[in-house]
A = this chain, B = another copy of it.
Amino acid sequence: MSVTPAPETTDQTHRDSACAAADPRIDALVTELIGRVADKWTMVLLELLEERGEMRFTQIARAVPGISQKMLTQTLRRMERDGMVCRTVHAVVPPRVDYRLTSLGESLGEAFCGVWLWAEQHLARVEQARREFDER
């Protein structure tokens, strides 16, 4: 994303009414982080690991139908890099690798929990809105 400072001469009322950062540079960084973290598979894995605790690779793969092995590896690596999950390799044959959430990952999971709850609660309303919109 291009990170233009955005002079913004227009209407500044309503500013600071919600949860935005004051500094536009911070805002841009946060936006970038949100963009990476609010990925579909990241949210799903976060949820799964929060529910089940420690899991191994194939166990996760089986629990998430629709994900390819590539995407799973990729997402787990990114989450590990971001400090969300901890990866433990056991030196046995056949190899065994366990994944679990770090405290950072857990805290993000809790933050997303509100979104999951929202989705569950308002699912019917969204579907109805779509039907109404589509018949036009």
Contact = CB atoms under 8 A, between A and B. Distances in A.
A4 B51 contact: no
A3 interface: yes
Size category of the binding interface on chain A: 35 or more
Copy tally for this chain in the complex stands at: 2
Contact of A43 (B38, B133, B134): B38
| Interface core residue of A50, A51, A126 (most chain B CB under 10 Å) | A126
A22 to B, nearest CB: 11
Interface of A: 1-4, 6, 8, 10-11, 14-15, 17-21, 26, 29-31, 33-35, 37-40, 43-44, 47, 50-53, 59, 62-63, 65-66, 80-83, 104, 107-120, 122-123, 125-126, 128-130, 133-134
